[in-house]
Amino acid sequence: MSVTIKEVEHIAKLAKLSFNKDEMDLFTKQLNEILNYVEKLNKLDTTNVEPLSQVIELANVFRGDTVGKTISTKEALKNSPSQMEPYFKVPKVIN
Amino acid sequence: MHSVSSYSYDDFLNQTPDNNNSVLNIVEKYLKNIELRKNINAFTEVYNEESIANAKKTDQELKSNNKKKLSGFVIAVKDIISIEGKKLTCASKILKDFTSLYDATVIKKLKDADAIIIGKTNCDEFAMGSSGENSSIGKTLNPVNEAKVPGGSSSGSAAAVAANFSMGSLGTDTGGSIRQPAGFCGIVGLKPTYGRVSRYGLVAFASSFDQIGPFANNSRDAARILEVIAGHDPLDSTSANIPVPNYLEKMNGDLKNLKIGLPKEYFDDSLNPEIKKSIELKIEFLKSKGVKFVEVSLPHTEYTIPAYYILTTAEASSNLARYDGARYGHRSKNSNTMEEMFVNSRSEGFGNEVKRRIMLGTYVLSSGYYDAYYKKAQKVRRLIQKDFLDVFKNVDCLLTPTSPTTAFNLGEKTKNPLEMYLSDIYTVSVNLAGLPAISIPSGKDKNNLPIGIQLIGKHFDEQTLLKIADVCENNLN
C-alpha cells in the first residue's frame, strides 16, 4: 500500500496541520517508507486473536460520584492565550 | 561530596553530617556543575533559589532528626511532568508559556518524601524521539562524549545524572525513553510495570504505553525513588492496586535459584560484537553467583517496531488533538477564523517529528484503515505479550542488550526517521507487553562509550531486576 500526496493532504486536513510543498513531498516519502515497513504485520495470521488495549487488563475502574477540589475559573484561564473572564476568547465563529 | 562522578544517596547517608557535606553544600555543588557544563543543555529550567532554600530547610530538619525517605536526595524531573506553579513545556514551542496548575502525583510524593527538585530536564518534544535532538530549545549532548547523542527521549534526565547535575532524575518511557538514554550515558534507568506508577500529571503521549521511572547512579537509588513514586492512585484509573515492596530490604545479594532467559532473537547479527562480548562476560559473572541461564524464544520480536509505531502514533494523534490554541498553549497570530487558529497554531507550534507521528497516527485511525492497521497492531500486541507470558512460566527474568549500538553521533539519524525508530528495537517490546525493565551499565566499548544491558521482568516484579542489577554493580570492575 502506498499513499499519494492527495491522501497525505487529506490526512493533514484531518489532523489540522498544514505543510508547504517541500514538506508535503518529504512527509509523503517518509510516511510511505514507514507504512511499507509496518506492512510486515500482514505476514502474521491474527484470526481469532483478541486485540489487546490494556496491558494489565484492568476493567471498569469506578469511583464515587463525590464533590472534590477543582480548579477555579481564574486558574483555568491562566494559561489561555486570550480570555474575557469567565470565557476563553477565540476568533469569531459565526459571521 | 565527590566532585565528578556517581555520588549516591548511600554516600550521603554514610558521611558524618558537617558543614562540608550539608545538603546545602551538595545542592550548591550540583548547581555549580550545571553552570560549568551549560553546553550539555540538560535543563529547560533550573530552580536555583528554591533548591537552595529547600536544602537549608532539609539541613534544619535533619538536625532535628526529622529524616524522611528522600531527605537530601537531589532530583531532576523531565519537563513533561507537572510541578505546580512551574513551566511545563514538553520541550515544545506549543507549550512554551504553559504553567502547571497542580503537582503530578509523583511530584507530590517526592515532595512529601523531602526530595529536592533541582530543575526540569530537556527531552525530545512530547517524548517523541530516540536521540534528544527533537527539542524546541535545542539538543542535549551526551556528557560522556559531547559529539554523541545522550539517547532519548529522556535525554536531559539521563544527562543530568551522568554529568553529576543531580543524584537521580525522573524520566518517562514509552518505547525505551528511559532505558536507551540510561544505556548511552552509562547509568541506571528503570521502566516500571505499566500501572506501577501513577501517570496523573504526566503529559500524555501514548497512554497505554507511557510510564514514569527513575534514573540513578546505581540500582539502590533507583529503588529508593521507585519505592516513593510507586503505588495506587485514585487519580489514575490505570494505576494498579498492588502493594509496593520495600525494595532495598530484598536487595540482599542472593541470586541462587534464579533462572534468566536469553531471548535468541535479541542476539542476532545486527548486535554490535562489543556489546555481545560485554553481555557474555556478565552472564559468566552471574553464573558464578548461582544464576542459571537458558535460551528462550520470543517469536514475534520482528513485529514489535511496526506494532509499536502504529499504536503509539494512533494514541499520540488522539492525545495531541487537545493542542488547538483555544484554551492554552501557542496561538497563531495570523488567525482570523477558528479553523485557521487550529491549523496555524498546531503547524507553528509542533516540531517535525511530532507532526510526522500525528500524521501517521491520523492515517492509521482514518476511515477504511482502522482495521488494517490499528486493530491488526492491537492483535499483534496480544501475541507479543503472550510470547513474554509464555517464557516467564519457565524463567524469572530476561537478559538482553539495551540497544543494538552504543551512543551514535549527533545528527547521524535525524534525516531518516525509520532508522531512528529501529534504534529502539530491543526496548519497545517491553512497553507493548507492559513489563518492567531496567538498563544497567556494563563496561565500555573501544571508543570509551558506555554499554547498557537490559533485564526484563514479570509484571510488577521490579524487585528481581533491582536485586540482580545490584549484584552486577558491585562487580563492575
**DSSP 8-state assignment for residue B459:** T
Q: Are B187 and B215 in contact (CB under 8 A)?
A: yes
Question: Is B328 within 8 Å of A71 when comparing Cβ atoms?
Answer: no
Question: Is A11 part of the contact surface with chain B (CB cutoff 8 Å)?
Answer: yes
Cis peptide, bond prior to residue A86, ω within 30 of zero: yes
The pLDDT of residue B20 is 72
pLDDT at B418: 87
* Residues in A touching B321 (Cβ below 8 Å): 16
Cβ neighbours, 10 Å, residue B288: 10
Q: Which of B92, B135, B153, B423 is catalytic?
A: B153
pLDDT in tens, B65-103: 999 999 999 999 999 999 999 999 999 999 999 999 999
Residue B4 has what pLDDT?
Answer: 43
Indicate the residue type of B133.
E
Q: Which of B470, B472, B459, B476 is nearest to B397 (CA)?
A: B459
Q: How many CB pairs under 8 A join A and B?
A: 159
CA distance B318 to chain A (A): 9
The counts of H helices and E strands in chain A are: 3, 2
**B177 flagged as catalytic:** yes
CA distance B58 to A5: 60
Tens-place pLDDT, residues B430-472? 999 999 999 999 999 999 999 999 999 999 999 999 999 999 9
**Amino acid (1-letter code) at residue B169:** S
The reported pLDDT for the residue numbered B144 is 97
Please give the pLDDT value at position B476: 55
Cα–Cα distance, B316 to B221 (Å, whole number) = 32
pLDDT digits (tens, 9 = 90+) for A33-86: 999 999 999 999 999 999 998 898 777 888 889 998 889 999 999 999 999 999
Of A27, A53, A81, the CB nearest to B331: A81
Determine contact, residues B183/B423, Cβ cutoff 8 Å.
no
Three cell numbers at B320? 495531541
Query: Is-contact B429 B179, C-beta < 8 A?
Result: no
| CA-based nearest residue in chain A for residue B363 | A11
| Closest chain A residue to the Cα of B369, Cα to Cα | A1
Query: Would you call B296 helix, strand, or coil by DSSP?
Result: strand
| Closest CA relative to residue B279, chosen from B452, B430, B428 | B452
* Ranges of residues in chain B whose predicted pLDDT is under 70: 1-5, 17-19, 475-477
| DSSP classification of residue B373 | I
Q: How far apart are CA B41 and CA B49, in angstroms?
A: 19
Distance spanning both ends of chain B, measured CA to CA: 22
ipTM of the complex: 0.95
A-chain CB neighbours of B329 within 8 Å are 79, 81
Type and span of the H or E element at B87: none
User: Does residue B96 have an active-site annotation?
Assistant: no
CATH code of B210's domain: 3.90.1300.10
Contacts of B350 (CB under 8 A, 6+ apart): A17, B92, B93, B94, B125, B320, B323, B358
pLDDT score for B5: 57
Which residues lie closer than 8 Å to A44 by C-beta, 6 or more apart?
B300, B303, B380, B383
Work out how many domains chain B is built from and give that number: 1
Q: What is the dihedral of CA B129, B133, B134, B140, to 10 degrees?
A: 110
Q: Look up the pTM and report it.
A: 0.96
CA distance B151 to B439: 13
- Kindly report the CATH number that applies to the domain delimited by A5-42: 1.10.20
B229, B210, B243: which is closest to B311 by C-alpha? B210
State which residues form the domain around B440. Answer: 1-477
C-alpha cell at B311: 499504536
pLDDT of residue B98: 98
Question: Is the CB of residue B452 less than 8 Å from the CB of residue B179?
Answer: yes
Residue B168 pairs in a beta bridge with B75, B216
Start-to-end CA distance of chain A, whole Å, equals 43
- Kind and range of the H or E element at A15? none
Provide the angle, in degrees to the nearest 10, between the axes of the packed helices B304-319 and B376-391: 130
According to the model, what pLDDT value does residue B17 have?
Answer: 66
* Residue the block writes with cell 486570550: A82
- A31/B376 touch (CB, cutoff 8 Å), yes or no: no
Q: Is the dihedral of CA B269, B271, B277, B282 positive or negative?
A: negative
What pLDDT does A1 receive? 57
Beta strand B212-216 with B168-172: parallel, antiparallel or unpaired? antiparallel
Active site residue B446: no
Residues B45 and B83: beta-carbon distance below 8 Å: no
Residue with cell 547509568: B187
The C-alpha atoms of residue B191 and residue B438 are separated, in whole angstroms, by 6
Interface check B330 vs A, CB under 8 A = yes
Cα angle: B257, vertex B261, B266; to 5 degrees: 160
B471: its cell numbers: 549484584
